[in-house]
Structure 1
């Protein structure tokens, strides 16, 4: 089966002149054990980094934001090395003052914010009994409160502009429950609701808000999360590939291209929607039972 690669620059610049502020633009990168990160495409990045590159390749200036300033800077430098325009900021998106300051600085660079992209997310394993209250609170703060805060400080700017687009990263885990990670699933379900609530309130003001629900992806963070339970990358990745109806995992590039579409005028009549990017996973029954020990398959 031939799988098209999205790691090379794409044609079309439908975001020319737009300014994107992307929270979660860094990549968690772990290459211990000599694991190779390339699979379907020649280059595999995390979702945030790949999405930032896609936005830039479609003509947007990208403000790369991450709690790890070095990671945000690396993404911005990669964009600039490819001829794009990018800035970098460090920010704890669970803290209102930090988000407010970052949004204000981003606005100062470009004079407007056309697209807000929320990519921040973590997961902690465990069901309601196994998951600690501390872990539950942390996941909700990082995955949900961060999006509330970025919307809180960006929406007034977009309202003054009478135009804007927000793209939130959710997950198919909001609607398909294959492993016990109650905090993650609950947070992503709430992201979907937040997306619809914002879309409904601001539709008449020229502001659209949509979400993307990725399925199983091949990213550095996924590989790092599984490295302690697997000695063989190929075995682990093949198992994940076979769990997808299309028999291969998506990549950050797939999410990035979906985001660029939702952020563009091509999606001008789309708001309050959750675009599933999962290779068909949500339309199929799970191939394996739950792992009650709390370890992702």
Structure 2
């Protein structure tokens, strides 16, 4: 496991024992380290969940599933593009058909610079629309079909990965707008589905040293990886960027019965960086 695994000494408390979890965005971009979706899939499996690892890249999803199986847990890879509703339907109902229920939906999909995000005066219509389709519409339609199953069960937990960029500072227009939209949508989702025993919450990562975040900025800014990492570390009050395991641990809490009375919240995982706006 990656050296930045802050869960290397993890001890399973079986928080998700017997549950079925669909993790959308369970693969990751190439580069050093581990991504948020992969870390969440592994963390959920370590706590007893049977995991459907969903990603646009079936090869990357299979890498995640193989990592989980190598640790002795259960996981299956599934290829799906979040911009295609029919593929989301196949993934979500496929998990129910395979294992008999859908207890946790974890939406971990988002692009910014890698999707062509830019300042308001520079962004194009096509890039803006594409980021909206991935970041916001994909989450909405995954939830639509998960909720149909969860309402019938009268139980379920949905964890959407938004971003600290939603309520905080961020220079690029589409990512901020769509991630703020995920927060608002999750609040609506929580309120409207509470009578069915369904909880919905957000995780708001700040600066996290994932391959996607770091490598995109290495390319965009023409800087060394070390310089990008140092610049990002310097912006965090706790003195370092987070790791994907920090995000995964927050998602695990919200997905588990430990958060049984928690719904409609947005949990910041940002090392205190949001405080810089005050």
Kindly provide the CA deviation profile for residues 161-187 of structure 1, in whole angstroms up to 9, marking residues without a partner as x: 1100000000011111242x1100000
- Where does the alignment leave 5 or more consecutive residues of structure 1 unmatched? 31-36, 38-43, 287-297
Retained in 2: the 8 A contact 1:114–1:163?
Answer: yes
Matching residue of 2:237: 245
* 1:285 Cα offset (Å): 3.6
Retained in 1: the 8 A contact 2:52–2:77?
Answer: yes
Whole-Å Cα distance in 2 between the matches of residues 253 and 4 of structure 1?
6
- Where does the alignment leave 5 or more consecutive residues of structure 2 unmatched? none
Matching residue of 1:97: 86
Matching residue of 1:207: 198
The 3 A distance-change label for structure 1 pair 194 and 96 is same
Whole-Å Cα distance in 2 between the matches of residues 130 and 230 of structure 1?
19
Kindly provide the CA deviation profile for residues 74-103 of structure 1, in whole angstroms up to 9, marking residues without a partner as x: 100100000110011101111111111221
Secondary structure, aligned partner of 1:89: strand
Indicate yes or no: 2:234 matched with 1:271.
Answer: no
Retained in 1: the 8 A contact 2:23–2:105?
Answer: yes
Whole-Å Cα distance in 2 between the matches of residues 143 and 11 of structure 1?
31
Whole-Å Cα distance in 1 between the matches of residues 222 and 277 of structure 2?
25
The 3 A distance-change label for structure 1 pair 120 and 234 is same
Matching residue of 1:186: 177
Determine which structure has more spread, i.e. the larger CA radius of gyration. Answer: 1
Kindly provide the CA deviation profile for residues 95-137 of structure 1, in whole angstroms up to 9, marking residues without a partner as x: 1111112212111110000000000111133222211000100
Matching residue of 1:145: 137
Q: TM-score, normalised by structure 2?
A: 0.94
Indicate yes or no: 2:73 matched with 1:65.
Answer: no
The 3 A distance-change label for structure 1 pair 120 and 4 is closer
Kindly provide the CA deviation profile for residues 22-72 of structure 1, in whole angstroms up to 9, marking residues without a partner as x: 100001013xxxxxx3xxxxxx31000011111111111110000110010
Secondary structure, aligned partner of 2:111: coil
Q: TM-score, normalised by structure 1?
A: 0.88
Whole-Å Cα distance in 1 between the matches of residues 196 and 135 of structure 2?
26
Whole-Å Cα distance in 1 between the matches of residues 147 and 5 of structure 2?
37
* 1:223 Cα offset (Å): 2.2
Retained in 2: the 8 A contact 1:7–1:253?
Answer: no
Q: Which runs of 4+ in 1 moved over 4 A?
A: none
Whole-Å Cα distance in 2 between the matches of residues 271 and 190 of structure 1?
17
Indicate yes or no: 2:123 matched with 1:134.
Answer: no
Whole-Å Cα distance in 2 between the matches of residues 4 and 283 of structure 1?
26
Retained in 2: the 8 A contact 1:49–1:75?
Answer: yes
What's the RMSD between the two structures over aligned residues? 1.5
The 3 A distance-change label for structure 1 pair 178 and 150 is closer
Indicate yes or no: 2:75 matched with 1:86.
Answer: yes
Retained in 2: the 8 A contact 1:212–1:255?
Answer: yes
